[in-house]
Amino acid sequence: MTIGTTSVRQLLLRRKEILFNFGFIVTVPLIFRFLGDRAIALAEPVGFGGLVARLAGRGGWTDIGWEVVSARALVDPNFSAYAPLSVLDPLIGMGWPADQANSHPPFGIPPFILLALLDYEWWLPFWITGSVIALALSMRALNVEAWVAYPVAFAFSITFSGLFALQSTYPLSAVLLALAWRWRHRPLLGGLTLAGYGVGRGYGLILLIYPFLRRRWSLLIVATGTVVFLTATAWLLEPAVFASFLTQGRESIETNLSRGDLITPLSLASQRGIPDLLVYLAAGLAAALMLWRKQHLFWVLTWFSFAITPIAWYHSAVVGIPLLVVLWRTSVVGRMAVILTAGAFAATTTYMSYSWLVLVLTSGFVLLWNKQSNSDDPSHEAGYVRASASQRNEVQRSA
């Protein structure tokens, strides 16, 4: 039994890529842990001291740490998942005594329970290197060539915004979004990734409208069932978790919306006394026009969730990578929007989240400008499908 030469080459390349990813995730933290203070001292003058210290297993405050400490509190009857971080921080010891509570809904907490049971300083370096690979995979899942995806991911990772993005959940959300699109015809995998993206970003659950309107009931059942399971898990572990979210969590959201470095359509409206309803209506009208111009429902819903997200930080724009990949392939205008968004992200040297606003405005403009998106054509999957079909035919002929 033989397999075509092209198929063998593709399988070998895929295996090499997997080995490279695994090797990078595991090896880099071990190297920095071995070098320790020497590496930190070398990195400090060029602005990478904090990152290298975390890679060397020294801990430190991170966005992902906040998610995990909330999960730790969820399983500890002596704490509430929505207690202020100043109360919860000693549970993992990352040194971030903020007076605010977690602002994410309860169903987004249970996925981090496993990490909450492990030593924070031990797993954090692997999370950081895994996030670099996740950025690349968010492009590879849409069939961006490896020679493009990995250099772009590494380039973003060493920017001011990228350094903190690696210590957050946004790269994971980006790859889940890309996989939810790629596996939209596969109910189990598509449903799990769609739910994973939704619970991680809150407003991302708007994407559940996609399988409903497309009548992909199996996909909808798996995604909805996953969300219900995570919601029930949070409630069973802490019966008062939803009441806590509606008080402490909501208070944290309102505090964040008043911050000057938070630049989203909703935060800008809130700071200027404009009713939130007007932002929702404007975004809804824009989304309706996009659909009228025959843009793909999945990406319109993705954009809409971005437009009405109340909180997005200076490093949050990496979650939009899959949408930007799709827009790059639509037109010259789409490529200009990608360049502008990437430039805004790379040029950011403060905590102001201008890049998020640029992402929302430029991607929205492209979706309104283009007469018809080519994103409905699963061409990024075609190569894989053709290779699989060719491989099966070769096997059948030689069996």
pLDDT at 207: 97
pLDDT of 55 > 70? The answer is: yes
pLDDT score of 82 more than 80? yes
Which amino acid, 274?
A: I
Residue 118 counted as domain residue: yes
Range of the domain at 180: 13-369
pTM for the predicted model, two decimal places: 0.90
In a domain, 102, yes or no: yes
Domain count, the chain: 1
* Whether residue 9 has pLDDT greater than 80: no
Report whether 83 contacts 63 (CB < 8 A): no
Average pLDDT taken over every residue of the chain: 89
Q: What is the pLDDT of residues 249-261, one digit of tens each?
A: 999 988 888 888 8
What's residue 6's pLDDT?
A: 58
pLDDT 10s digits, 214-230: 999 999 999 999 999 99
- The long-range contacts involving 251-260, CB below 8 angstroms and separated by at least 24 positions, are 251/100, 251/101, 252/100, 252/101, 252/102, 252/103, 253/103, 253/310, 253/311, 255/100, 256/100, 256/103, 256/310, 256/311, 257/310, 257/311, 260/352
Cα gap 122→356, rounded to integer Å: 31
Where do we find the tokens 């207690």? 83
Q: In this predicted model, what pLDDT tens digit does every residue of 97-117 receive, in sequence order?
A: 888 899 999 999 999 999 999
- Residue 388 within any structural domain of the chain: no
In a domain, 243, yes or no: yes
**Is residue 375 a part of any domain in this protein?**
no
Domain-embedded: residue 384 = no
Is residue 378 in some structural domain?
A: no
Q: What whole-number percentage of the chain has pLDDT above 90?
A: 77
- pLDDT tier at 391, thresholds 50, 70, 90: very low
Collapse the DSSP code of 317 into the 3-class scheme (helix H, G, I; strand E, B; otherwise coil) and give the result.
Answer: helix
Single-letter residue type at 109: I
Q: What is the pLDDT of residue 74?
A: 95
Residue 171 confidence (pLDDT) above 80: yes
User: What digits encode the pLDDT tens for the residues 331-359?
Assistant: 999 999 999 999 999 998 888 899 999 99
382: pLDDT strictly greater than 90: no
In a domain, 395, yes or no: no
Does position 379 have pLDDT exceeding 80, yes or no? no
